[in-house]
Copies of this chain bind each other. A is one copy, B any other.
Amino acid sequence: MTKSIFYHAGCPICVSAEKDILNFIPENEVQVIHLGENKTKVKDAEEAGVKSVPALVLPNGNVLHINFGASIKDLR
């Protein structure tokens, strides 16, 4: 994995965090996944260690949970 993945659920906290994060990371280096619209990706997110959204999964495998929009459990 060479790109970061930003998982969110479309909530206002997620959208705000997304804007801030995309200020740091060039758009071609981050994939944005809306878990509310892509339920099939919830399992991937959980396996990557995502506990809540918004969260940023880094190329090194670290997960940065940013603020708190929603628990991953509520998105299953």
- Residues of A at the B interface (CB closer than 8 Å) are 16-17, 20-21, 23-25, 58, 60, 62-68
Contact = CB atoms under 8 A, between A and B. Distances in A.
Nearest to A19: B62
Contacts of A21: 64
B67 A67 contact: no
Copies in the complex: 2
Contacts of A17: 64
Contacts of A25: 24
B68 A67 contact: no
Given A24-B25, A25-B24, A65 B62 contact: no
Contacts of A16: 62
